[in-house]
Structure 1
Amino acid sequence: MSTTARVRNWWGWGYEDARIDPHAVAALATATLGFGDLGPVEDPARPEDIALPAPRLDVAGLPSASTDALDRVHHSLGKSYPDIIRAFRGRIDHAVDAVTRPADERELEAVLAWADGANAALVPYGGGTSVCGGVEPRVPAGFDGVVSVDLGRLDRVLEVDAVSRSARIQAGASGPALEAQLREHGLTLRFFPQSFELATLGGWIATRAGGHFATARTHIDDLVESVRAITPVGAWESRRLPGSGAGVSPDRLLLGSEGTLGVITEAWMRVQPRPAHRASQAVRFPDFATGAEAVRAVAQSGLTPANLRLLDEVEAQSTGAGDGTHAVLVLGFESTAAAVDVGDDLRRGLALCRAHGGAWDDPAPRDGAGTPGGAVDTWRDAFLAMPYLRDAMVRLGVLTDTFETAITWERFPAFHAEVMGAVRAAVGEPCRLSCRFTHVYPDGPAPYYTIVAPARRGDELAQWAAMKQAAGDAIIGAGGTITHHHAVGRDHRLWYDRQRPDVFAAALAGAKAAVDPHGRLNPGVLLGGE
């Protein structure tokens, strides 16, 4: 049995052995996108050719320190489109000076103490999957250097409470690692974002990530029982409770803090038995607007489907779930109770869909024990492969990126038109702009937009910046949130500053000053300037 570790793709998403060959998809991409000849397939820069500056810091005394060039490259970029392009072109505009991998909280405390003496900024790092500049070491000039704090060695499920159905899990545990350990107890966290194979629990908590469920428990927030973090002035740990009304919650303040208020080391998380029953169905609608009304009806009905993802006509065609002539709703339910027939819930949901113009071909499973194939499985496979496909598109000269938001139902039609129009105007033709709902609430959806256009080779970053500016301005101007589950990072700061109240910004700055007096933890994210 081979024990060879999988090798990460140094410039793109995921693992080398899972890369998609752009030559294999070039013809299909050309036919589907309608952009004409995409031109030659480009190769990425070689990591050994990157002109990385020498470390500015003397790492003597820094626990578990590494100044290896490729290690520094890996930790200097996330996985946003600009990150991918810079790595592809061999550009590391901002490099960490060193990487540290603390083995426990004592070593982490030593790292924080060392940083004080070295005047170094610290960027907490989990799976490196940030798509908004969250781990980019672009820090204020007042620091003498910057170190990436990789939590990957803190990767264990430490305790399981089967009575209360909760588990104490270290922050560096990746999705597959924590699920494998919970499976030994017949349990699951049941949190599956698209970044699942690489992202970590600490990263999910720090960014308020969104997971598998489209309704009810949609965010990692809903699964957190308590959180522990180490700050420059001491440990920050909330009491383990099912709920509390005792003032401002310590764990709620750490949720979404993006490494600025402390380095998250572990959390008690709500877990559950593995689902015993699932039932899904793909439903067609004549257009996206009609499908949205059906989704609203389901979301406000009291049903809590695990999957309630509406794909517009373009998104359905791009993922193989439709032919481009209709919107497609992926509707699914699941249950952990052996006696619960989720087929009944599915039939109730389908009845609401039919009342709003929905139709489907495959009969729904009667006993709720299985999931039909067809469009549901096709969409799921495409969803999981999407980050790898993006890398292949980069090599083909195609710009492809996503942005997401949330808005209330009564404003959605006008909001959607404004965002689509602004982005189209900024990118120009030809382009393919599509939308799907990733999460749905009784009071509104979380629209997720995908833009695909011919890239201006060599000028992709400027092209992307114009698109991002138009999207961000339209979203904030029309009353949405700059991010629903991708976090703020550095890429969204401009619009986050406009979204949040000034008084709250001042309060957050006060909290930051109290726990991180010298502003060393991920400076420039959420607050503070360059």
Structure 2
Amino acid sequence: MTDERERNFWGWGYADRFPDQETRKAIGAQVGALLGVPPLEPREPPPLDTIVLRPPRFELPPALAHLSSSAPRDRITHTHGRSYRDLVRGFRGDFTLAPDWVAYPSSEDDISALLAWCSDAHIALIPYGGGTSVVGGVEPDIGPSYNGVIALDLRCFDRVLDVDPLSRVARIQAGARGPAIEAQLAPHGLTLRHYPQSFEFSTLGGWIATRAGGHFATLHTHIDDFVSSIRMLTPAGVYATRRLPASGAGPSPDRLALGSEGILGVITEAWLRVQARPRYRASASVAFPSFADGAAAARALAQSGLHPANCRLIDRTEMLLNGVAADGEAVLLLGFESADHPLDTWIHRALAITAEHRGRCPDGPKIRDDGERTAASAASTYRESFFQAPYLQTALVSLGVVVDTFETACPWDRFDALHTAVDTAVRGAGARALACRFTHVYPDGPAPYYTFLAPAEPGEELERWYAIRRAAADAVLATGGTITHHHAVGRLHRPWYDHERPDPFALALRAAKRALDPQGILNPGVLIDPEPR
């Protein structure tokens, strides 16, 4: 099964968005100058029909075979996520870990049948949404103790099933992608307004399973804040929570499903808190003489109670990478939005706060009350580059550049030490450029997001990449940050996640896994190790 518009089988997004050779050659010259190396020459990925896969290791019973595929393209496109490591392996034509089958269930009965059969046959089952994981969360790296693996693609679960305008909630299937959710809510005058960078391709179920961060820089920063209830199918039965605005009845069953990364069950739908579509908007771009000044202003805004929708601080390297022009060493992209009231007071108070920290906004704020999306020029440029960045990373992989991102969150009093340690560690491991931005800000700390670039000899890209990622993760954990703010744990972050979580919590998580998935078939190796059989 394929999308109507063909997806790139090894890289990000749609195949027709992969730049041609001349465009990539121009990018190679620019990036070579940034890294201090000669212009980089583009290479070509292998044709899809030249990739050789091992045959499926098992046959499905007729009752399941009709909703599944072992076609090479289906298996290939469900092998990797979209991390740098995934892109490099795909570009090299390495699909060694391809699932044996890809299942496309169209009902909960189909999923229950798959769960039961896989439990009996000891076949690993990996829930699959949009395949945009950057931490190895959907990779079928299951080890030798399973008899095979099925990728469970939820694309048929793509509808908004119900809308309650009085409570302002909507029941949405887990396989619905971001654009489909917004399109189905629009006739009701509603929006979820959860826009991760992967919005175009990622799904509601993936957002919930990974506790994805989204549009809002303050207040409602994660999908957690919008979840009213969750329905999840497990080998032990249906796990359905009650739709409530809030509850104090013991540990939250929703919280167990949030961030479970497919190891406890298959999320099929959820009730989400939705909002009226914004009419009023106000935005501004504020330049600062130093990143430290911008960070101080971001902290003051986060603690002010103004709750800006956008409070994204970017440093000079980030500005350079994204074509943002600003007179300073950092720029704060500031925005407010509301469906209820004009925002003049909010934006002017915010600009007064930034001015107290040497922020300058010579063009003044941009204020709209007609529902149209407009923003200050720097913010508009950055927004476009933000959603184009994964396509650029795909192009850079074809040029042999090591380029990736990582993110964290830490208390304000630890940020300076963390930032210095990360910069030292990443450059010491071979990175030539390091950019930083704040994606979200909280009263008690920021969520810094880093991008690094490094040259590498052909064939050595993954070794250089992992050395930099390992150095960064060690520095983050040593200085009091979290191993991930919104990219989940997956397989990539497991070594550091094991140190971050309390040991008794790990025991409790294993017990929950054992109770809900007794045979350990669901996404083995993520969050916890499979129990020996």
In the superposition, the TM-score normalised over structure 1's length comes to: 0.96
Deviations 1:145-194 (A, max 9, x none): 00000011011111000000000000000001111111121111110100
Which residue is equivalent to 1:27? 26
Which residue is equivalent to 1:13? 12
Contact 2:70 2:102 in 1 (8 A): yes
**Cα distance in 2 for residues equivalent to 1:22 and 1:280:** 38
SS at match of 1:427: coil
Which residue is equivalent to 1:363? 364
1:275 aligns with 2:244: no
Give the 3 Å change call, closer, same or farther, for CA 243–153 of structure 1 in structure 2. Answer: same
**CA apart distance, 1:29:** 5.2
Which residue is equivalent to 1:204? 207
Counterpart mapping for 1:137-286 below 5 A: 137-286=140-289
**Cα distance in 1 for residues equivalent to 2:184 and 2:355:** 42
1:117 aligns with 2:120: yes
Which residue is equivalent to 1:381? 384
Task: Judge which range, 14-23 or 185-194, deviates more.
Answer: 14-23
Counterpart mapping for 1:420-431 below 5 A: 420-428=423-431, 431=432
**Cα distance in 1 for residues equivalent to 2:128 and 2:493:** 18
Which residue is equivalent to 1:332? 335
**Cα distance in 1 for residues equivalent to 2:145 and 2:397:** 35
Unpaired segments ≥5 residues, structure 2: none
**Cα distance in 2 for residues equivalent to 1:366 and 1:170:** 36
**Cα distance in 2 for residues equivalent to 1:57 and 1:257:** 28
Counterpart mapping for 1:80-159 below 5 A: 80-159=83-162
**CA apart distance, 1:416:** 0.6
**Cα distance in 2 for residues equivalent to 1:91 and 1:23:** 26
SS at match of 1:172: coil
**Cα distance in 2 for residues equivalent to 1:325 and 1:358:** 9
**CA apart distance, 1:528:** 1.0
**CA apart distance, 1:6:** 1.1
**Cα distance in 2 for residues equivalent to 1:405 and 1:141:** 33
The equivalent position to 2:292 in structure 1, one of 278, 289, 293, is: 289
The equivalent position to 1:390 in structure 2, one of 382, 385, 393, is: 393
SS at match of 1:472: helix
**Cα distance in 2 for residues equivalent to 1:308 and 1:12:** 30
**CA apart distance, 1:96:** 0.5
**Cα distance in 2 for residues equivalent to 1:78 and 1:324:** 38
Give the 3 Å change call, closer, same or farther, for CA 355–325 of structure 1 in structure 2. Answer: closer
Contact 1:38 1:397 in 2 (8 A): no
The equivalent position to 1:402 in structure 2, one of 400, 405, 419, is: 405
Q: Which amino acid aligns with 1:320?
A: G
Which residue is equivalent to 1:492? 493
Q: Which amino acid aligns with 2:11?
A: G
Give the 3 Å change call, closer, same or farther, for CA 325–351 of structure 1 in structure 2. Answer: closer
Which residue is equivalent to 1:470? 471
**Cα distance in 2 for residues equivalent to 1:216 and 1:22:** 43
Number of aligned residues = 523
Give the 3 Å change call, closer, same or farther, for CA 427–93 of structure 1 in structure 2. Answer: farther
Give the 3 Å change call, closer, same or farther, for CA 252–81 of structure 1 in structure 2. Answer: same
Q: Which amino acid aligns with 1:450?
A: T
Give the 3 Å change call, closer, same or farther, for CA 248–211 of structure 1 in structure 2. Answer: same
**Cα distance in 2 for residues equivalent to 1:86 and 1:314:** 28
Which residue is equivalent to 1:454? 455
**CA apart distance, 1:49:** 1.4
Q: Which amino acid aligns with 1:270?
A: R
Give the 3 Å change call, closer, same or farther, for CA 292–57 of structure 1 in structure 2. Answer: same
**CA apart distance, 1:22:** 5.3
The equivalent position to 1:418 in structure 2, one of 407, 416, 421, is: 421
**Cα distance in 1 for residues equivalent to 2:21 and 2:424:** 30
Contact 2:29 2:40 in 1 (8 A): no
SS at match of 2:75: helix
Q: Which amino acid aligns with 1:528?
A: D
Task: Judge which range, 272-281 or 130-139, deviates more.
Answer: 272-281
In the superposition, the TM-score normalised over structure 2's length comes to: 0.96
Unpaired segments ≥5 residues, structure 1: none
**CA apart distance, 1:426:** 0.6
**Cα distance in 2 for residues equivalent to 1:478 and 1:373:** 35
Counterpart mapping for 1:33-72 below 5 A: 33-61=34-62, 62-63=64-65, 64-72=67-75
**CA apart distance, 1:452:** 1.1
Give the 3 Å change call, closer, same or farther, for CA 197–141 of structure 1 in structure 2. Answer: same
**Cα distance in 1 for residues equivalent to 2:359 and 2:382:** 18
Aligned alpha-carbon RMSD (Å): 1.5
**Cα distance in 1 for residues equivalent to 2:423 and 2:530:** 31
1:321 aligns with 2:324: yes
**Cα distance in 2 for residues equivalent to 1:116 and 1:462:** 37
Which residue is equivalent to 2:526? 525
**CA apart distance, 1:367:** 5.5
**Cα distance in 2 for residues equivalent to 1:457 and 1:253:** 43
Q: Which amino acid aligns with 2:29?
A: T
Contact 1:313 1:322 in 2 (8 A): no
Contact 1:22 1:395 in 2 (8 A): no
SS at match of 1:391: helix
**Cα distance in 1 for residues equivalent to 2:176 and 2:319:** 33
**Cα distance in 2 for residues equivalent to 1:176 and 1:386:** 18
**CA apart distance, 1:495:** 0.4
SS at match of 2:366: coil
Q: Which amino acid aligns with 1:501?
A: P
Contact 1:285 1:359 in 2 (8 A): yes
Deviations 1:473-528 (A, max 9, x none): 11111111000000000000000001001110000000000000010000000001
SS at match of 1:6: coil
SS at match of 1:184: helix
**CA apart distance, 1:323:** 5.8
Share of identical aligned residues, percent? 54
Give the 3 Å change call, closer, same or farther, for CA 183–366 of structure 1 in structure 2. Answer: closer
**Cα distance in 2 for residues equivalent to 1:225 and 1:171:** 14
Deviations 1:274-306 (A, max 9, x none): 110111111101111110001001110111001
**Cα distance in 2 for residues equivalent to 1:438 and 1:243:** 27
**Cα distance in 2 for residues equivalent to 1:525 and 1:324:** 45
Contact 1:317 1:324 in 2 (8 A): no
